[in-house]
Structures are given as C-alpha cells and as structure tokens.
Chain A
C-alpha cells in the first residue's frame, strides 16, 4: 500500500449530499438509485433463499412428510418467481450497472434520471403485488406459468402474480432503455465504442435483450390473465387454443432472460480479471462482439426448452443447431479470460477469488448446456434435476459469483470504505464449497431420472438429495458472511481512498464515494481500455 498518510473520506460526496427520506426516495442521482436497488434486491434475495431452504428441507425425505404437496409446490414456485424476476434479472444491471455506467463513460448521470427512479418504483410496486400473491394464498404454477394448468386448473393467485410480474417487467425495460440511450449519446469526448470498458459493452447487450425480450413475455402472461378472467381461448385446448404456442411465446423471452442474468456478470469478470492481473484484456474486440453475439443469437434458440413438448422434429433440429451456435461466444469469452491471466501479475484478493469461482463454475454450467441443446440427450434430461443443476451452475455459480465479485471490487467506490479482506476470502471459499455440494449431486440425480418439482420421490434418490440439502445449508450460511461484513464495513470500515485497487477506468478517477455530480469537468479520454502499463491518473488534489 502507498506509504502516504491513510486515505480519508472526501467531505462532500453523493451519500452526504442530502439526508432524510426525501433525499433518498425522491433522488434522481443514479448512484442513490443503485443503492436503493441494492437494498431491495438483497431483501428479495433473502426471501427467495428462504423458499429455497423450504424446498431443500422438504427434499430431505422421500415421502414428503415435512410439508404438504401444496406447500411444496407454492415454495418452489415462490423461489423461482422471486429469484428470477426480483433478484437475478435486476441484480447487476440495477445496482452496479446503475452506479457505474455513467461514471465509466464520463457522464454526469443516466440519460433519463427520473425514468431511472420510476423504474425503481415500478420494481417495488411490482414486488409488492407479487409478494401479496405469493404470501396471501401463494402461487403453485411454477415460475413458468405453463398453460393449460395456469389458465384452467390452477386454484392459486395466478392473476395477481401475473399482474405483479407484468408490472416488474417494465422496470427491466426502462432500465434497459435508459442504458442504451446513455451509452449511445452521453459518452465523454474520446470515449469511443472500442475504448469503453467491457462492463459497459455487456450492459449494452443486456439492455437490448431487456428492451426487445421483456415485452413479449409481458403480453404472454397478460393473455394468461385474460384467459383466466374472461375465459378467452388462447391457450385452452377445449376452445381450440394451443398450449404449445404459450411455450413458444414464453421461452422467446425466458431464454434470452438467462442471458440478461449472465451477461452483466461477464462484464464484471472482464473488469476484475484485468485489474487483478494488471494486464490488458486479451482480445478486447472479440469479447465485446461476443456480448452482442450472445444477445442476438440468444433470441434464436428458445425452443430447446421444448424438444419433447410435441413440437415438430425438423423445427427442433433448427433450434438445436442454433443452440450450438450460441455456445461459441461464451467459449470465446472463457478462453479470452484465461488468456488474460497469462504473464500477468495476479493478486488473489476476494474479487479475484470470485473471478476464479465464476470462470470455473460457469464452465460447468455452460458445458452442461451442450447436453441440453443436444436433441438426443435432451429427451432424457429435460425436466429432470440435470436441468436444475445446469441453470443453477449458470445463475448461482456464474451470475451470483460475478455479482459478489463486482460488489466487493466496487464496494470502496460505492461506500468509500474497505471491507475486511480476510472475511472476504473465507466466505468466498465457503460459498464455493457449499454451492458445489448443493448442485453437483443434482447432475447425477438428473441423469438417473429424478424429475423436477417432485414433492415426493423414490427412495433410491434420497442420498443424493440429502447431500444437496447439506450443501444448501452451507451455501445459505456462507451467504450470511458477505451480508454481515459488508454491512459492518459501511459503518466501521476504514476509508478506502480513491483507487484502492489501482484500477483503470474513469470511475476510479473520482473520489470514493464519488461527488453527487460525478465529474467537475467532463473528462476527455485518451487511453485505450485497460491500459495498465501506464499507472492510473490520481484524482487531482485541487478540487
């Protein structure tokens, strides 16, 4: 560490720019909105984890004696709905994206600050409606709302939940819209597209998916609600409707949605891996373009969720071929990250541990996707625990590891204070172990044929389920650590100084925490991205 006197907090910054409820609930400062999102999605993550615990608790025993089938069905549905719509989709874009994109491209704020606040209120309003549906009576259709169960046979709060998710969808659309316009029109002079941080590229690609994908699922679940209220016949086979059409429209969004969840984490990894190996990213343009490629090709592959649904064989072959195509950009990214480490100067701080966790686990998640995109093996594997393991390796092993890594990396910039490095290392390893113990056994459960969403299951699957529940306990316990020491650091953490990691990027040229208006003068960018050869410019001591 530098030998100069210990860093101190700047006297004026966005956190003390105003106090009291009004300064927070009516703010249009993208940094404060990011903090509001951080608090609300952490709460939703806690609730989603509670339901996950319920599911794992039930699966300890094969006879389902721990809870009724109805409670179990409502628990896995709530776990799915909360985690997908209220944690994973907003997680990185709404917190780190909101906070960092203006800073990274040298802008004072997002293009539409009021719409940014509106998107948070829409998120909270949608969450309130959905939580009412989940808590007062519950929803038992699964987060996928498959018809005709959701439209004709379900006796739970389908319409209320649909309205909640429909409303929340617009929060995601507005965030995406805000990012696209900001990245296009508000880059600082000199910040050309190919000098932008890859974090911004990843969010640009994510925003395209958010804007173009979310409305399709919005109208689809709206049709489900219309069918339940007015008995329209869209998906009801007795009236000529086609349940498979619902699956097409639903997965048209819901597959690109998994790229909404993983692309921002990839952006975080590109930032972290360069800083902690103090080296330029390997193949910048390839990683940037692969983000866009994932966003576009991601829209062509949705029916690999439907190979056994009774769709046409030839059509399934088209989707299988395209699914293999979408695997290529992810492979390119992984190879490029690994190549970035070559001849670098790797520092194993907590964020870097999360980077290694991300790449290692995302590799398993991505490669198991090859089994599921494959027509032959998917017939056996779809709707089994192999699928559950696959998407948890991508979402928890990938997106959440990336989210935690980014949170730790930019924590000094967001709060101005340092967290305790030792606790960071311990908890990241604990989370790594807990995660693998939870989900690796599920690959075997899947291949042996245990179907998804089963309240009771044959005895021979019990041992693997007990292993998985044990892992879930460790994972749950592991997540408490970052929650506690990060919160602790907000109040008691040592001031971190403007650039504790000596990272490149415009956000590190501001004070920690940054001033309310980000930059006194709009910076002009002269360097290429990740130019770690030249030391980072210290914030000029004048202003």
Chain B
C-alpha cells in the first residue's frame, strides 16, 4: 500500500475486462458436462479472478513481503482446515 505507487487507469480497465471475460468463460463451461473436470475448471477460474483482484485492485503486488505473508498464512490455515477435516470424511469408508 505504498502511497506514491499509482497504477495507470488502463490497468484497472484491463483487469475489469479480464474478470468479466473469465466470468463468461466459467458460465460457458458450466453448460457442458465434463464430469469432475467441471469443478476444477470452475475453481481454477475463480482462483484466477481472485488473484487478479488481490494483485491489482488490492495492490498486493506492490505492498511488500509482509502483506504476502499475511495472505499466504490465512490461505494456508484455510487449507489446514479443509484438508485435515477431509482426511476424516474421505477415509471413513476405508477398510481396516
């Protein structure tokens, strides 16, 4: 969040366009049934859009290491919650 660093307007418009296009793509791919691939595509697009918003709209790209550490830690702890809980749900059916 360094003060003087100001992005040119076209970057914002470019990011907005990218986000809109990606939303359109995600909707388009949802029309067809690729089986489990649908989930991966949908999450992949959503993650890309989120990363664009974080890097450019939220200036994370120009905010130095500490901001990156905070973002990484929170996402890391989120994954701890997801994956360790899923170790229970996914391994319940395994035979002993």
Contacts and interface: CB of A to CB of B under 8 A. Distances in A.
A184 B65 CA distance: 12
B74 interface: yes
A312 B77 contact: no
Contact of A303 (B88, B90, B94): B88
Contact of B87 (A212, A252, A315): A315
Contact of B81 (A252, A312, A314): A252
A314 B87 contact: yes
Q: Chain B contact residues: over half helix, strand or loop, or mixed?
A: helix
A216 B87 contact: no
A313 interface: yes
Contacts of B77: 212, 299
A263 to B, nearest CB: 17
Contacts of A331: none
Given A299-B77, A299-B80, A300-B80, A314 B94 contact: yes
A183 to B, nearest CB: 12
B96 A313 contact: yes
Contacts of B89: 312
Contacts of A184: 66
A212 B66 contact: no
Most chain B beta-carbon neighbours within 10 Å: one of A244, A303, A312, A319 = A312
A66 interface: no
Interface in B66-96: 66, 73-74, 77, 80-81, 84-85, 87-92, 94, 96
A315 B88 contact: yes
A312 B84 contact: no
A494 interface: no
Contact of A311 (B66, B73, B92, B94): B92
Contact of B84 (A212, A303, A313, A314): A303
Contacts of B80: 299-300
A425 interface: no
Most chain B beta-carbon neighbours within 10 Å: one of A212, A249, A303, A315 = A315
Contacts of A380: none
A517 interface: no
Contact of B88 (A216, A248, A300): A248
B17 to A, nearest CB: 34
Contacts of A252: 81, 85
A314 B92 CA distance: 8
A313 B80 CA distance: 19
Nearest to B84: A300
Contacts of A315: 84, 87-88, 91-92
Interface residues of A, number: 20
A274 B46 CA distance: 52
A426 interface: no
A318 interface: yes
A252 B94 CA distance: 24
Interface string A196-238: 0000000000001000100010000000000000000000000
B94 to A, nearest CB: 6
A318 B90 CA distance: 13
Given A216-B81, A252-B81, A312 B74 contact: no
Given A184-B66, A299-B77, A312-B92, A318 B87 contact: yes
B91 A312 contact: yes
Contact of A318 (B73, B74, B84, B96): B84
B53 to A, nearest CB: 21
Interface in A319-340: 319
A370 B54 CA distance: 43
Interface in B17-63: none
Contacts of A244: 88
B74 A212 contact: yes
Given A216-B81, A300-B84, A314 B74 contact: no
Contacts of B84: 300, 302-303, 315, 318-319
A300 B89 CA distance: 16
Nearest to A313: B96
Interface string A242-263: 0011001100100000000000
A244 B88 CA distance: 10
B76 to A, nearest CB: 9
A248 B66 contact: no
A252 B79 CA distance: 12
A216 B82 CA distance: 12
Interface in A148-187: 184
A300 B85 CA distance: 10
Contacts of B81: 216, 252
Nearest to B78: A212
B74 A311 contact: no
B91 A248 contact: no
Nearest to B94: A314
Contacts of B90: 312
B3 to A, nearest CB: 15
A245 B89 CA distance: 9
B71 to A, nearest CB: 12
Contacts of A314: 87, 91, 94
Contacts of B73: 208, 212
B29 to A, nearest CB: 29
A313 B94 CA distance: 9
A294 to B, nearest CB: 15
A464 to B, nearest CB: 35
24 contacts: A184-B66, A245-B85, A248-B85, A248-B88, A249-B85, A252-B81, A299-B77, A300-B84, A302-B84, A303-B84, A303-B88, A311-B88, A312-B88, A312-B89, A312-B90, A312-B94, A313-B91, A313-B96, A314-B91, A314-B94, A315-B84, A315-B91, A315-B92, A319-B84
Interface of B: 66, 73-74, 77, 80-81, 84-85, 87-92, 94, 96
Given A300-B84, A311-B88, 4 more contacts: A184-B66, A300-B80, A312-B94, A318-B84
